[in-house]
Amino acid sequence: MATTLTVSGLRTHPVVAPLKYPVTTASGTLGEAPLLLIDLTTKEGITGRAYLLAYQRLALKPLDELVKALAATIVGEKLVPAELEPKLRSRFTLLGGARGLAGIAVSGLDMALWDALAQARGAPLVELLGGKARPIRAYNSLGMVSAMNAEEVAGRSFNDGFKAAKFKIGWPSFTEDLAAVRAFRKAAPAGATLMVDFNQSLSVAEAISRGRRLDGEGLAWIEEPVRCDDHFGCAKVAASVETPIQIGENFSGTFEMAESLRLRASDYVMPDPQQIGGVSGWLRAAALAHAAGIACSTHLFIETSAHLLPVTPTCHWLEFLDVAGAVLQEPPRAVEGAVTASSRPGIGLAWDDAAVKRYRVE
């Protein structure tokens, strides 16, 4: 098995995959999954794979072009993530840094680099990172819940042994939010862990008001109550509300995460692999969370997250929201409410070629 790899090229596959259930939030709806599938090729014949979520179709083409252009700058380079990831990131220094689509493009290539490297070593990514695959507790991640549909949503939310679920609130009035929480709690199995997500829909004052009134409802956390870049405002919420505050899916790299931790903007963090900087960025984020003594969960990217959480010192929860299963040969699955990393070399991603062809967009 090759131990030294050289980047030779890139193939991308822009697809729009169906979701089993649309994910409606207080800030918008994800009715389908615009994905960019990445195949990073090497001269040694190993292909590193990763995927990115563009959220909207209109972002898929520019993301595709950006990833391809960025990959062209490392063709012929030895595959050493510790050298290539900062080189990729440096391309955007004069553009204000690797943020937004630029940061997502860097993250996607970084994940593909690590996948290829682990394959070359004949090991699952988690083992390359110094860990061992183990079941990681997961929660079922859901869309908006109201008092009217709580029983129906809860009824299908605890399949596959899930013992925890997160659902969206942020209705026009707190009365509606509270009714949704209580209706879902009533319909959920006894002892179930419940989290709620406002998806940045509240002002700081309203977040404090609603958060305080939710304090007696036994929620494990309240997620993204205010605008994602208002860390100072979120710190006010965290200091004023007893229920733990969870943020992090929109940390645009670890410098932003470090600033958030400095301000004590939340009680927990949940970085997103495509926003935080791929595998390389995640390792830095996990170290920051460890140093701060803050529990660290993942956001989306089930397949990669199952490899990353076992090497995260303050490992907390894995979010189970399957956005890519429709184009994978082996979609992620939960067993007794937990997810275990693939035992295949690398991340374990393999495209379903027929599905990729079916859902491909130009």
Say if CB 184 and CB 10 are below 8 A apart: no
| Total number of residues shown for the chain | 362
Per-residue pLDDT of the chain (362 residues; tens, 9 = 90+): 556 899 999 999 999 999 988 888 877 788 899 999 999 999 999 999 999 999 999 999 999 999 999 999 999 999 999 999 999 999 999 888 889 999 999 999 999 999 999 999 999 999 999 999 999 999 999 999 999 999 999 999 998 789 999 999 999 999 999 999 999 999 999 999 999 999 999 999 999 999 999 999 999 999 999 999 999 999 999 999 999 999 999 999 999 999 999 999 999 999 999 999 999 999 999 999 999 999 999 999 999 999 999 999 999 999 999 999 999 999 999 999 999 999 999 999 999 999 999 999 98
**Cα(129)–Cα(139) distance, rounded to whole angstroms?**
24
223 DSSP 8-state letter: E
Q: Given this model, what pLDDT does residue 8 score? A: 98
The predicted model scores a pTM of 0.96
Q: Given this model, what pLDDT does residue 1 score? A: 54
Active site residues: 168, 299
Beta bridge partners of 296: 269, 315
Three-state DSSP class for residue 101 = helix
Cβ-count burial 186-208 (b if 16+ within 10 Å, e if not): ebbeeebbbbbbbbbbbebebbb
Helix and strand tally (H, E) in the chain? 13, 11
Q: 72-75: list long-range contacts, CB under 8 Å, 24+ apart.
A: 72/10, 74/7, 74/109, 75/7, 75/8, 75/9
* Burial classification of residue 327, based on how many CB atoms lie within 10 Å of its CB (0-12 exposed, 13-18 middle, 19 or more buried): buried
Q: Given this model, what pLDDT does residue 282 score? A: 98
